[in-house]
Amino acid sequence: MSTLILQNKPRKGSSGNSWRIEVLGSNGNAKEEMKQSIRALEHHPAKASRRSILDMLSLIDEHKYDIKHTEHYYTDDDLEAWMFILQG
């Protein structure tokens, strides 16, 4: 069983806002598979928070992970962000 953290990193830029998905964890194989799936996303980094959360949920479903913990928060720039702790 592997444990991963999947989170989106919002960033306010001069050309608009963007949300980059990143994966953290110690399990090399599972982490690398998730990174490859993130790279294959059509809209990455996303230009809208909803697009980012939909992509994250589809990645969780695609890799058959269970969500063990969820955090929803706003950054100092008032951009929406999500973090999931996953096991699978």
Q: Where are the domains of the chain?
A: 3-87
pLDDT of the residue at 54: 96
Q: Give the tens place of pLDDT for each residue, 11-39.
A: 998 889 999 999 999 878 999 999 999 99
Pairing status of strand 66-74 against strand 3-13:
unpaired
CA torsion angle 73 1 59 45 (round to 10): 60
Burial of 2 per CB tally in 10 Å (0-12, 13-18, 19+):
middle
Picking from 58, 59, 1, the residue whose alpha carbon sits closest to that of residue 33 is 59
Q: Is the pTM of this model over 0.85?
A: yes
Picking from 10, 4, 3, 2, the residue whose alpha carbon sits closest to that of residue 82 is 10
What residues form DSSP beta bridges with 3?
87
pLDDT band at 71 (very low <50, low <70, confident <90, very high): very high
